Chains A and B, each alone.
Chain A
Amino acid sequence: MTADLYATATGLIERSAAAYVSGVPEDAADDGLFGPASVAWRVSADLASPVAGLRSLLMQALHPLAMAGVDQHSGWRRDPVGRLAATSAYLATVTFGERAVAEQAAARVRRIHDHVRGVDAVTGRPYAAGDPALLLWVHAALVQSSLAAVWAFGTPPPARDSDRYVEEMMVAAELVGVPRPLVPASVAELERYVSSVRPGLSCTPAARESMAYLLDPPGLDEEVAGFWQDVRDAAIAVLPEWARQMYGYDAPPLSPGRRTEIRQSLGVLDAMFVGQPGVLEARQRITLRMRTGRPA
């Protein structure tokens, strides 16, 4: 698996950047599902995004059926770059793309979900990717993780904007097939929802193995491992305590100094991302559109 990952991982920076760039339109016909004045646009550009992403995965993997689906259809291990790039493109498209383009992308995902079914070997329960309950968990984990990461390491939005963000993001859940009434509409609702799901969560062997690998990919150079460790420590630090316990991670609270270090590492990572062709231009397009929507 390790060798496979390395073998196929070459080009991830380039491909994920290209995917991001492809999702940001040059001359948008409309403002898309969120628009330049949205909190979602601001949050998506935050340098804490890698932490948000990793925390999302850690949370999502605790759902046995979600994890079973991944485990049993683990093509992503053979082509992780392709998977991640596709994900980047999807998220960028949904966030920044024109409305019709975002809807088309979501329709594609729904069509794929229609055919994803199986039985979890651990619990013996059947699952289906199109099950709104699973999709909602995945959605909630992402939204909660984005906020947690931005609050801890990024440029936090004003408090009232956290609620706005959760509300804005409802449309993303709807897009993949979750009925709107089921989707949390505020931070408080989001927390209540996560608590309600919690009794059904557990760290299955598949989750443990996959996340252990992600958190500590073997064979990293010392310097590279240092960056990785910062992202990992950050993601674990902003997990709920109960989730850390499920995994058995031991994480003392971050000192202010350590928090600063992590932020600095995230800044370097962000700079690496901007070093990719087209990323800076895409960000500038976004900034300019946000400027026109913001009082000078």
Chain B
Amino acid sequence: MKSRRLLATTMAAGAAAALTLVLLRRRLGPLRLDRGRAALRLFVRGGARYAASAPRLFAAAGEQRQLLREDLALQTAEDVAGTLGAMKGVLMKIGQMASYVDGGLSPAVRRTLARLQDSVPPMSPQLAAAVVEEELGAPPERAFARWDPRPIAAASIGQVHRAVTLDGRAVAVKVQYPGIAETIAADLRNVALLRRMLRIAAPAQDVDALLTELRDRIGEELDYRREAASQRLMAAYYDGHPTIHIPAIIDGLSTRRVITSELSGGARFAELATWPQHERDLAAETIYRFVFRSLYHVRAFNGDPHPGNYLFHRGGRVTFLDFGLVRHFTPAELQPLMQMARTICVEHDPEAFRRSLENAGFLRPGAPLTTQAIVDHLAVFYDTIREPGPVTITSDYASSVVRRFFDLRSPVAGYIAVPRSYVILQRINLGLFAVLGELSATADWRAIAEEIWPFTQGPAATPMGQAEAAWRARRPAMAA
């Protein structure tokens, strides 16, 4: 009984960690049945916990961080490698993006991903300055008229500093961790391990579709020039829009690892919750218009519709931040989505709806299911827009959407898949509705959708719709 101590005393703690694998199997059993819960919590927990009263900027990455631990700051590139190398940077990115897959993550996995984000301290002022100097050719205090060495927010594999440009504009400067892009790019090449992780983390999902999408999106985020391009595109399209505001990119100060944009103020999501319902409805309408107008008219979707990425102003004006996760669509990719919406909402033709699902790859052709069963299963996603009239989006509705999304027990579920192109759009179901539900937002969503749908082009349904129509009338014609 006792000399097991001999062996026991000798086992490094690491052996225990190794053995945990044996158990993962045990733990996954029950967890696999428990999915879909708490996806919303992640969104709604929007409270900013960053330093002081800094405006919230590019904050998605750090949403779960308690605060920026300057005492633990990364001082060297080696510190960065130790913290974010060996797959941890990739895991952190998955954690960031998890909000669009995390309804399918087990609580243990979600907790692990969140903790991993907590575990990444900011760069020391010297390290951040060194990156700025490498990228802009001058140390920050010369590249800018004023430079705040203390970061105001964690960001996508980097951090955000406030600064004033030499020509006097207040800006937010996002600075990437040195060496991280190379590390993550190398780790993304280990497809077998990524697949293994995703199978464990998100067994409900089509792992290969998810894997490809994650690799592409994360890969894109490593180069801030892409994000700058997406933000420029959005800013140009929405230029002069009555309620949608996209901060301008400062061209000469944006590179692969540094992105500089106009600094914006505004209230955070948590503060919006204290505003009158009328204001909340307006903010929700702007967000809704932004998401679907961008999708159908700019053919772009920001995969991070996250409370932390909005700044709110009175009268429904919203500033949209962080375009690191933008997915651009081809017209051919959008066509099936429009067909689905049209057949179920406008034409009320279940058989045509079914065919459009099959054509888009959402539903296996020839599935032994009645069309009614399919409609019953999927209609919840269209509940807010199937009929005209005011509808209040509640948290309960948002939860029911998530539950349905991850409801694997339904006989329909076995025949449904999300094709790769649309993986990111899950964020409409898992993210946008959560935000609107949190606001208890009421609007005639169907009428607003008809304004935006290219196949309906309905009349302005609200005062905001009228203002938007006026904006469209006076803006120069654009390709998008």
**Which A residues have a C-beta under 8 Å from some C-beta of B?**
5-6, 9-13, 16, 19-20, 44, 47-54, 56-57, 60-61, 66, 69-70, 72-76, 80, 83-88, 90-92, 109, 112-113, 115-116, 118, 127, 129, 134-135, 138-139, 141-142, 145-146, 149, 155, 176, 217, 219-224, 226-228, 231, 260-261, 263-275, 279-280, 283-284, 287-288, 291, 296
> Top 6 nearest A-B pairs by Cβ distance?
A53-B15, A49-B14, A267-B86, A275-B112, A69-B3, A50-B18
Closest Cβ neighbor of B109 among chain A residues: A275
From residue B19, how far is it (CB to closest CB) to chain A in Å?
A: 6
CA distance A267 to B91 in the complex (A): 9
Cβ of B196 to closest chain A Cβ, rounded Å = 4
Instruction: Assess whether A271 is in contact with B87, with CB atoms less than 8 Å apart.
Output: yes
CB within 8 A of A50: which of B3, B15, B25, B200?
Answer: B15
- A61 contact set on B, CB distance < 8 A: 7
Residues in A neighbouring B13, C-beta threshold 8 A: 16, 19-20, 44, 49, 53, 87-88, 91-92
**CB–CB A146/B12 < 8 A:** yes
Instruction: Give me 29 A-to-B residue pairs in the complex whose CB atoms sit less than 8 angstroms apart, sorted by A's number.
Output: A6-B23, A12-B20, A12-B23, A16-B17, A49-B13, A49-B17, A50-B15, A50-B17, A57-B10, A69-B3, A75-B4, A76-B7, A84-B16, A84-B19, A87-B9, A87-B16, A112-B2, A115-B2, A116-B3, A118-B3, A129-B2, A223-B199, A228-B21, A228-B22, A267-B88, A268-B193, A271-B87, A274-B112, A288-B71
B-side interface mostly: helix
| Candidates A84, A86, A92; contact of B15 at CB < 8 Å | A84
Whether B22 and A9, one on each chain, are in contact in the complex, defined by CB atoms closer than 8 angstroms, is yes
In the complex, A267→B108 CA distance in Å? 17
What separation, in Å, do the CA atoms of A73 and B5 have in the docked complex?
9
B85 adjacent to chain A (CB < 8 Å): yes
Chain A CB within 8 A of B8 CB: yes
Contact, CB under 8 Å: A142 / B18: no
Q: Do B4 and A49 touch (CB < 8 A)?
A: no
A-side contacts of B71, CB under 8 Å? 288, 291
Check A287/B72 contact, CB under 8 A, given A9-B19, A127-B3, A261-B193.
yes
Of A112, A145, A270, which contacts B5 at CB under 8 A?
Answer: A112
Residues of B within 8 A of A146 (CB): 12
State which of A54, A223, A268 has its C-beta within 8 Å of the C-beta of B18: A54
- Which chain B residue lies CB-closest to A264? B87
A155 to B86: give the CA distance in the assembly, Å.
11
- Of the stretches B184-192, B300-308, B330-338, the one at the interface is B184-192
